[in-house]
Amino acid sequence: MSAGPPPLRVGVVSIVVVSMFVSLFARLYFLQVLDDKTLEDVRGAALFDTIATEGTRGRILDRNGRVLVDNRESISVTIDRNVFNALDDQEEVVTRLASTLTEQGFPTKEADIRARLADPQFNPFKPAPIVDDVTVAVEAYLLERHFDFPSVNVVRNRVRTYPYGNLAAHVLGYTGAISAAELDARPKDRSLDPKPYEPGDQIGKSGVEKVFESDLRATPGVRVIEVDATNIEVDTRSEVRPVSGYDLQLTIDVDLQATVERELQAALLAARQQPKRNPADPDYRAPAGAVVVLDTMTSEVLAMASFPTYDPGDFIGGISSSRFAELTDAAAFNPLFNRATQAIYSPGSTFKTFTAVAALRSGLVSPGETVTDLGVWNLANCTEGCSFQNAGRTAFGTVDMRRSMVVSSDVYYYRIGEKFWVEQGTYGRTTIQNVARDFGLGSLTGVQLPDEAAGIISDPAFKAQRHIDNPTAFPFGEWLTGDNVNLAIGQGDIAVTPLQLANAYAAFANGGTLQAPSIARALLDHDDGAVVTSFAPRVTRQVALDPATRSVIAEGLAGVVNSNEGTAAGAFSGFDHPGFTVAGKTGTAEVPPRADSALFASFAPVAAPRYVVVAVLEEAGFASGTAAPLVRRIYDRIVEPVPAQPVSSSIQRTPAVTASTLPLLPAAVAPTIPPAPRTGGRRTTRARPTWR
């Protein structure tokens, strides 16, 4: 190129330049004219999107069709944490959102927003709810100023609403966003799941919401949409509409349920105000209790209350971790815990009904056989701890089967317990236990509620095995006479749920038909209310109960309430409903070091029993002054019902009456497990943790 002046060489360069441009033009022409592509070529299937649409969850109704759980639309302000974490001006967004919400009438602190963002309760891949149930005005305000609030969104959800507030909370249960574990438990192949879940979908977490989840849940719809290049929906290709879930009709009666809950709270308050008989006695803290009302013929649950309770409305839109911790705090007596089915209690003297059945059925005693009750029973051939007393060492004199019930003579049953063990060659070693198990005590009732407790009915094999398994905590494995004596009065290693006790009394009352208690009556079509499935009574077994035996014991139980010397006579004084005679048994179970549990198990009317009412009050003292009056007031309302009042606004929540809204209580005594004492003298029940 040395030839020629520079301008000529520049000409050569320009030829190179032109040829470079020619190649660019050629390539451009090829790409855009000869080989041009459509968006379908490039994006293909990405142009279609499949969206699951959630349908309406079934409602929950009472036995008369009144709505206990309904659905409504809720507007929530959310923050998408993935977007938020990428923001440079996180502080400003939080500050602006807090002040805006506060100005708009939803007082919100910056710390509240931060707490919600940090709350592990919420699925990290889903927007975290910041404030629920805002007004349409707030929604419009935030959406208009979308660009001032990056990562903030406003969403409308269908949420549960509770027309009767926290009524029957433990039965109903609560719903929440499906957890990762729950999602994993679904079929891996979503097409095999009749009602597949998306992350964030609502699922029943407890109560009938959990047990009947598959019926209540709507079948999700599927919408296939076509989106344009900017991911905006342009057309619906196909749509399968969601199908609403079934309505669930419960066996609960709203009026009775409201009465039972109100009276349970009142009884606990009253129990706390009792004077102590002896200053050294433990406090009557009366922190918790449960009541079950059953239909004796069908074992349908007409009412079931547990205290302390909670508000399922707290779970709408996701509950904060701190609130959840309060609801599961043992020191607050675990408000989420359904004591009617999940707590186990020593039945105390309410168990004598079954000891009596065992004694009469086996022929150990005859109804008219009398015992002279001097207030103390001494075991024969006994060297150590051989003396058992009546409560307060009261001497009842001549006592037969009927009177033993009326006055609650422990001595009468101590004798039965001893005789059974001494004469085991004739009657077998576990006659009392066999009867208790016949009546369903110590085993799951089969009610359609989650996480039911089984309870314990101890016997020689159980005691021996427990000693082998854990010799430190249980140094004695041998079943002694004293064990049998304690068992006869419902003390010792025996613990049942209030529902088990009620169901056993129902079987006794109806002549021996043990059924699984039901909480659900029917599934109804959401749109026309037609019955889809009805739940018939489920007979578990026919218990051998001679009518003569039954009537002797029933007379005794009727005397408890109606005879002048009956332990519940005072509680039922003035109870005057012709044709509606109540029979029942008080029970005062020792739970040292705490105050006694008070129990009352009953049925009515005696002539043709229809109702069973069982009440258990923890740390409440003598049953005759606490549990019996409670049950009496419930019968008053069974005879003369008082209608329950719905809460005025469905959004307005009634504050849940929990332990914290009643007078303050000392912190719970940690349940201590002392080594079982060598059985002998009046044995005390091992303190049993009734909640965990």
Partner 1 sequence: MALTRRSRDAVYSLRRDLAGPALHLDWSIVALSVLLVAIGIATIFSTTKGSGPTPDTSYVTRQVVALLLGLGLMIGLAILDYRRLREFVPLLYGGSLLLLVAVLVVGSELRGAQAWFAVGPFTLQPSEPSKFAFIVTLAAYLSIHRDDLTLRRLAIVLTVAGLPMGLILLQPDLGTMLVFAVITFTMLAVAGLPLRYLGGLVVAAAIGTSIVLGSGLLAEYQRDRLLVFIDTSADMSLDQSYNVEQSQTAISLGGVTGWGWGNGPQTQDGMVPEQETDFIFTAVGEELGFVGAATLLALFLALCLRITRAAQLARDDFGTLLCSGVLAMFAFQIFENVGMTMRIMPVTGIPLPFVSYGGSSLLTTLASVGVVLSVHMHRFR
Chain residues in the site for partner 1 (CB under 8 A)? 1-2, 6-7, 9-14, 16-18, 20-21, 23-25, 27-29, 31-33, 35-39, 42-43, 146-147, 228-231
The residue (of 20 and 86) whose beta carbon lies closer to partner 1 is 20
Shortest separation between residue 34's beta carbon and partner 1, angstroms = 10
Shortest separation between residue 532's beta carbon and partner 1, angstroms = 48
Shortest separation between residue 234's beta carbon and partner 1, angstroms = 13
Backbone φ and ψ for 221, nearest 5 degrees, come out as -85, 165
Shortest separation between residue 22's beta carbon and partner 1, angstroms = 9
The residue (of 93 and 293) whose beta carbon lies closer to partner 1 is 93
Shortest separation between residue 30's beta carbon and partner 1, angstroms = 9
| For the chain, the helix, strand and coil percentages under 3-state DSSP, each to the nearest 5 | 35, 20, 45
Q: Measured in whole angstroms, how far is the alpha carbon of residue 665 from the centre of its chain?
A: 23
Shortest separation between residue 53's beta carbon and partner 1, angstroms = 25
Using N-to-C axis directions, what is the helix angle for 627-639 and 254-272, rounded to 10°?
150
100 within 8 A of 143, measured Cβ to Cβ: no
- As to burial, measured by CB atoms within 10 angstroms (0-12 exposed, 13-18 middle, 19+ buried), residue 96 is middle
Could you tell me which residues come within 8 angstroms of residue 267 by beta carbon, excluding any fewer than 6 positions away? Answer: 289, 615, 617, 620, 626, 627, 629, 630, 633
Shortest separation between residue 14's beta carbon and partner 1, angstroms = 4
Strand 301-307, strand 397-399: pairing: unpaired
Token output for 375:
């207030």
The residue (of 6 and 578) whose beta carbon lies closer to partner 1 is 6
Token output for 640:
């003369």
Q: Look at the alpha carbons of 388, 624, 166, 505 in this order and tell me if their dihedral is positive or negative.
A: positive
**3-state SS track over 314-356:** HHCCCCCHHHHHHHCCHHHCCCCCCHHHHCCECCHHHHHHHHH
Q: CB 209: neighbour CB atoms within 10 A?
A: 28
The residue (of 32 and 95) whose beta carbon lies closer to partner 1 is 32
The residue (of 2 and 564) whose beta carbon lies closer to partner 1 is 2
Q: Where are the extended beta strands (E) located within 424-526?
A: 456-457, 494-495, 513-516, 520-524
Place of tokens 């815990």: 337
The residue (of 34 and 670) whose beta carbon lies closer to partner 1 is 34
- As to burial, measured by CB atoms within 10 angstroms (0-12 exposed, 13-18 middle, 19+ buried), residue 231 is exposed
CB-hemisphere CA count at 13 Å for 259?
Answer: 24
The residue (of 9 and 156) whose beta carbon lies closer to partner 1 is 9
> What gap in Å lies between CA 72 and CA 95, rounded to an integer?
30
Q: Look at the alpha carbons of 525, 526, 527, 530 in this order and tell me if their dihedral is positive or negative.
A: positive
The residue (of 20 and 531) whose beta carbon lies closer to partner 1 is 20
Shortest separation between residue 91's beta carbon and partner 1, angstroms = 21
Shortest separation between residue 38's beta carbon and partner 1, angstroms = 8
The residue (of 18 and 664) whose beta carbon lies closer to partner 1 is 18
Shortest separation between residue 40's beta carbon and partner 1, angstroms = 11
The residue (of 14 and 672) whose beta carbon lies closer to partner 1 is 14
